[in-house]
């Protein structure tokens, strides 16, 4: 139990800042593109879809780490914006990670800038891959939003469907064995190797 708790706390320290920054930027850019106003500065992280899947992934020690930004609206265009912002943040994380490899922390200090850059790259890579799932608020899901099942659901139920389904997915090895093994882990390995070569 002590070992499990220690691992969860360590992951929480490493993941929280990059995750909060990523989700906040996604919602800010979505607001700018859509012309809508975010109700308050913490809107992006102020719903269950952010924290329940995130804590489920940490508590069950999953490789795929996810957290949904609070969407300002549903539809294909907002989903496309969220997808591309996550992709952009993944690229930024890649270059920051490459930079951190050649700028080590002073002796005796934890290399948090190194880990946070790596997590920024990895978390947003997970979120880009997540948009391949046919769920509301995600890119592929919004492309199929006109199917009969989703048409009968009100918008609020569609939002709940996404985070509840994703929380159940991360409670099992399903995401790790599907999106993780097929998309995320191979791409992450390639990005990490490329960052090392870029820093050399």
Q: What is the pLDDT of residues 101-148, one digit of tens each?
A: 887 766 555 567 778 899 999 999 999 999 999 888 899 988 887 554
Q: What is the mean pLDDT of residues 152-161?
A: 68
Residue 170 has pLDDT above 60, yes or no: yes
> What pLDDT shows up at residue 136?
86
Given pLDDT bands bounded at 50, 70 and 90, which one contains residue 149? low
> What pLDDT shows up at residue 146?
59
Tokens of 76: 């294909």
> What pLDDT shows up at residue 160?
81
Prediction pTM value: 0.92
Task: Calculate the dihedral angle through the C-alpha atoms of 54, 55, 56, 61, rounding to the nearest 10 degrees.
Answer: 100
> What pLDDT shows up at residue 68?
95
Q: 93: phi > 0 → left, psi -120 to 50 → alpha, else beta; which?
A: alpha
Q: What is the mean pLDDT of residues 65-85?
A: 93
Tokens of 50: 């952010």
Least confident of 98-112, 154-168, 175-189: 98-112
Percent of the chain clearing pLDDT 90 (strictly above): 64
Is the separation of the CB atoms in 37 and 31 below 8 Å? yes
> What pLDDT shows up at residue 154?
62
- Mean pLDDT value across the chain: 88
Residue 155 has pLDDT above 70, yes or no: no
Least confident of 47-51, 86-90, 180-184: 47-51
> What pLDDT shows up at residue 26?
96
SS3 category, 79: helix
């Amino acid at each position: 139990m002590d070992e499990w708790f220690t691992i969860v706390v360590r992951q929480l320290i490493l993941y929280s800042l990059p995750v909060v920054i990523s989700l906040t930027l996604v919602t800010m850019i979505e607001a700018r593109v859509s012309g809508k106003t975010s109700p308050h500065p913490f809107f992006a992280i102020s719903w269950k879809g952010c924290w329940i899947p995130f804590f489920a992934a940490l508590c069950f020690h999953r490789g795929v780490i996810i957290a949904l930004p609070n969407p300002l609206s549903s539809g294909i265009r907002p989903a496309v914006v969220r997808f591309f912002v996550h992709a952009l943040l993944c690229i930024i994380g890649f270059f920051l990670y490459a930079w951190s490899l050649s700028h080590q922390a002073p002796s005796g200090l934890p290399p948090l800038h190194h880990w946070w850059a790596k997590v920024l790259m990895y978390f947003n890579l997970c979120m880009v891959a997540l948009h391949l799932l046919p769920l509301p608020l995600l890119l592929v899901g919004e492309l199929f939003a006109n199917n009969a099942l989703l048409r009968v659901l009100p918008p609020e139920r569609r939002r709940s469907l996404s985070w509840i389904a994703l929380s159940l997915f991360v409670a099992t090895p399903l995401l790790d064995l599907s999106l993780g093994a097929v998309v995320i882990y191979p791409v992450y390995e390639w990005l990490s190797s490329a960052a090392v070569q870029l820093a050399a």
